[in-house]
Structure 1
Amino acid sequence: MAPWYDRAGRLSLLKLFVFVGLFLPAAWLAGLALTQDLGARPLNTAIHFAGLWMVRFLLITLAITPARKLFRWAPLILVRRMLGVATFAYGLLHLGLYIVDQNWNLIRVISEIWLRIYLTIGFVALFGLMLLAITSTDGWVRRLGGKRWQALHRIVYLVSALALVHFFMQAKLNVYPAALMSGFFLWLMGYRLWDRFGEIGSIPSLLGLAGLSAIATALTEAGWYAVATHAPALKVLEANLGFAAGIRPAWWVLIVALGVTLAVALRRALMKKAQPKAPPKLAMNRAS
């Protein structure tokens, strides 16, 4: 069955839209390559481009569950598998372009992965994505059973963390994109923890999660610079919380998280307004 049909064999506009959207980054990359607009080191630029979109699609996949619950949009579950497979595909493209950059010298590639810790971490993350992609079919769900399948697919959280560590390590000094993606990951993980042990659906809870995620993002970026470059953590944290260096990742995480909260509040208000009002109760006259 074509990927844009639902389980009943009907055309799903949501699945069709997502399916087409998954190819757009690859098409954009191909266009840049054909027009020779990838800069002085085109292969290096392409490698980073594919890796960035792997991380983006990974986070979008993780965002399906919160979005489905917060916006009560059940059909979103139909595109989660598609997004997961696309994440692995972009990860495979990331690795494939690196092999091309190494002149197809597989011995050298294996040696580099073995000796360079950030490449080892990235390869382990990609291997985890491969396991998730292979076992994403209905057949594997039946073979493993519901509980074992769910337990296996929880490694996506570890895979995501490893992918982000790899992102930080290969970025070296400019960790802005890695810090931004890590901030969104912290919000997604915070949502899951809060949802597991408490009530996250309320607006005050979402506001609190937005603030905590932004603070955690600022601390993560400051901590990374302190460890990787020995820069004073407090100075970096001060820069992250200010605007002298532009809008830092922590602020973007806060803005997006508050935007999600506002969207949830507006949707609930509209749904409440659209609900039919109960007819007034008629007073019963009793005979005196």
Structure 2
Amino acid sequence: MQRSAFALPRTKLLAALPWTERNGKLSLLKLTVFLGLCAPGLWLAFGFSQDLLGTKPLSHVLHETGLWTIRFLFLSLLVTPARRIFHYSKLINLRRMLGLAALAYGLAHLGLYAADQAFDLGKVASEIVLRIYLTIGFLALLAMGALGLTSTDAMIKRMGPNWNRLHKLTYAIAILGGLHFFMQAKSDVSEAVLMAGFFVLLMSYRQALKWKFDLTSPLVLAAIALIGGLGAAALEFAWYALATGIPPLRVLEANLDFTYSVRPAWWVAATGLGLAAVPLVRKLDRRAVFARLRARPAA
């Protein structure tokens, strides 16, 4: 009797760990992803402690935590289409972990900004109010906090259909985060364009699902890759045209010049094409298995 009385709480405790399944058993997938989510923060902490981050280590860590916030947020948006593309339903178990990791890095980003301002909270608050890009970033973080607080199983059950409505804020958060990234990047927005292009790619996957397109079709995925690349190029052109004095046509033409660098639009398209190759690889692997089975002599 005593053993059964303690079995349920122990299972619940184990299930609450980020690297276990709901039954409390270890998940190698979740453990691997959890370690991957921790790795950037651990590296930044190590680099900062060992003075490996250049002449402005605090600024470097501040920038990187913001960048990883957006990366993990976008990866959480990738989970649903990736389930279809990879034909692997267990990926859905990673969405909450990715979202909470984005929130953790976002909070670290805010804390480091406060540290950069010598923890003068009055100044931090006034800067957030007066500087529009900081206001946008802070609003995105507040919304992420709301999603994080309601991400538990108990809150999902308690909120019912309202939970899905609330968590659609993820798209608005991604837009606000991307805009914050653009505005603080000033003249060189290559990283921001890259993330904006990935957002176009992600939204194209989701729209394709909504329109009942087959995300296991290489042609559909290749078309989405093209849309993502063109979207990145268009957003880069629009930003330079509206927000800077740099001739936007020169930036657009740079997409065809590979002498010095590869523009973000090409990286976005290449990522999309890489995902388009996944169904082809799966089909070839399946055919190879069937060929081996047919080649076996009859027992």
What TM-score do the two structures reach when normalised by structure 2?
0.89
1:24-35 paired onto structure 2 within 5 Å: 24-35=39-50
Distance 1:177 1:208 in 2: 23
- 116, 131, 134: which is aligned to 2:131? 116
Distance 2:287 2:168 in 1: 35
- 154, 164, 167: which is aligned to 1:150? 164
Match of 1:101 in 2: 116
Encode CA deviations 1:134-158: one digit per residue, 9 max, x unaligned.
111001101110x211111111011
Alignment check: 8 A CA contact 2:85 2:275 kept? no
1:193-204 paired onto structure 2 within 5 Å: 193-201=207-215, 202-204=217-219
Amino acid at match of 2:173: V
- Of 204-213 and 193-202, more deviation after overlay is shown by 193-202
Amino acid at match of 2:67: L
1:256 and 2:271 matched: yes
Alignment check: 8 A CA contact 2:219 2:276 kept? no
Match of 2:78 in 1: 63
| Number of matched pairs | 278
- Of 158-167 and 33-42, more deviation after overlay is shown by 33-42
1:150-169 paired onto structure 2 within 5 Å: 150-169=164-183
Shift of 1:272: 5.0
Distance change in 2, residues 1:223/1:83 (3 Å):
same
Alignment check: 8 A CA contact 1:191 1:200 kept? no
Shift of 1:211: 0.8
1:115-264 paired onto structure 2 within 5 Å: 115-145=130-160, 147-201=161-215, 202-264=217-279
Alignment check: 8 A CA contact 1:239 1:245 kept? no
What TM-score do the two structures reach when normalised by structure 1?
0.92
Amino acid at match of 1:190: S
Amino acid at match of 1:62: L
Shift of 1:273: 4.8
Match of 1:18 in 2: 33
Amino acid at match of 1:181: M
Give the 3-state SS of the residue equivalent to 1:39 in structure 2.
Answer: coil
Distance 2:218 2:24 in 1: 38
Encode CA deviations 1:193-241: one digit per residue, 9 max, x unaligned.
1210241422211111111110110111111111111322222111123
Give the 3-state SS of the residue equivalent to 1:230 in structure 2.
Answer: coil
Alignment check: 8 A CA contact 1:58 1:83 kept? yes
Unaligned runs of 5+ in 2: 1-13, 295-299
Distance 1:56 1:271 in 2: 32
Give the 3-state SS of the residue equivalent to 1:161 in structure 2.
Answer: helix
Alignment check: 8 A CA contact 2:229 2:268 kept? yes
- Among the aligned pairs, what percent are the same residue? 46
Amino acid at match of 1:126: L
Q: For the aligned residues, what is the CA RMSD?
A: 1.8
